[in-house]
Amino acid sequence: MAAATLARRIGRSGVAVMKFKSPPVNSLSLEFLTEFSISLEKLENNRACRGVIITSALPKIFSSGLDITEMCGKSIEHYTEFWRAVQEMWLRLYGSNMVTVAAVNGSSPAGGCLIALSCDYRIMAENPKFSIGLNEAQLGIVAPFWFKDTFVNVVGHRIAERSLQLGSLHPAPEAHKLGLVDELVPEEKLMEKAAAVMAQWLALPDHARQLTKTMMRKAVLDRLVAHREEDIKNFISFVSKESIQKSLRMYMEMLKKKKS
């Protein structure tokens, strides 16, 4: 892979630490997603690895979500490959047998939030400037059903419905109040806390924890597996619309203008 997006380390405790490192904002490009899925697969197949802590090596950003440039002005073939990579990443992470802990050390909109939601436990730095949420509606796009299902499974139907319709990005304290993240800690204590939570989860017998996790998540995972090709077609048809392309271009321009 050309870009070193991730670093991995498996300690004696059987815990890997994955650090997103794709400047400037850890956006989820096709290359990033592919590398992330391959790393997850390798860890999953490594018997020495029982858990993974996911965090960012960049200051202030966990992940800025899907790379919007991958969804702008590209070919049908590219959209197909990109969306399959997004699906693959989620199927691997949400369906992982490992204990997965997100140490959210920065903002985490949309696809970045999905990554955190797909873990077993979320700890966020208690900085009110950091926000998290599925803000797709703000971009004029719609979070697919499996993003929504993952969100509902974490916060419940009512909170998910309101937050999704409004495309809300919740500052860390609000995200904690809503149950979107499980704990807030000072940023400098994030990794120490993640390791302590991991140790607590790993104290249980793997088979019992894994079967329970599968029981809780199987219906949602199976739904995407059964409708994967249809979901790709829906994505292509949606993202190819001129009105959606215009919304995405305007959003990118707004991001650039914000700087000047």
Dihedral (CA of 224, 101, 135, 236) sign:
negative
Q: Of 166, 150, 162, 159, which Cα lies nearest the Cα of 216?
A: 150
Contacts of 51 (CB under 8 A, 6+ apart): 14, 15, 16, 98, 99, 100, 101, 198, 201, 202
Residues 8-47, one symbol each (x = binds ligand LRBWVUCK by CB under 6 A, - = not), give: ----------------xx-x--------------------
Interface with ligand LRBWVUCK (CB under 6 A), residue from 124, 125, 141, 175? 141
Instruction: Give dist(CA 103, CA 106) in Å, integer.
Output: 9
85 belongs to the binding site for ligand LRBWVUCK (CB under 6 A): no
Contacts of 218 (CB under 8 A, 6+ apart): none
Interface with ligand LRBWVUCK (CB under 6 A), residue from 15, 18, 43, 143? 143
Instruction: Determine whether 187 is an active site residue.
Output: no
Instruction: Determine whether 97 is an active site residue.
Output: no
Residues 207-236, one symbol each (x = binds ligand LRBWVUCK by CB under 6 A, - = not), give: ----------------------------x-
Select the span of 48-56, 72-80, 131-139, 179-187 touching ligand LRBWVUCK (CB under 6 A).
131-139
Look at strands 170-171 and 131-133 and give their pairing: antiparallel
Instruction: Determine whether 135 is an active site residue.
Output: yes
Q: Of 50, 173, 223, 42, which Cα lies nearest the Cα of 120?
A: 50
Q: What are phi and psi for residue 92, nearest 5 degrees?
A: -70, -45
Q: Which residues bind ligand LRBWVUCK (CB under 6 A)?
A: 24-25, 27, 61, 64-69, 107, 109-111, 135-136, 139, 141-144, 235, 238-239, 252, 255-256, 259
Q: Which residues are catalytic?
A: 66, 111, 135-136
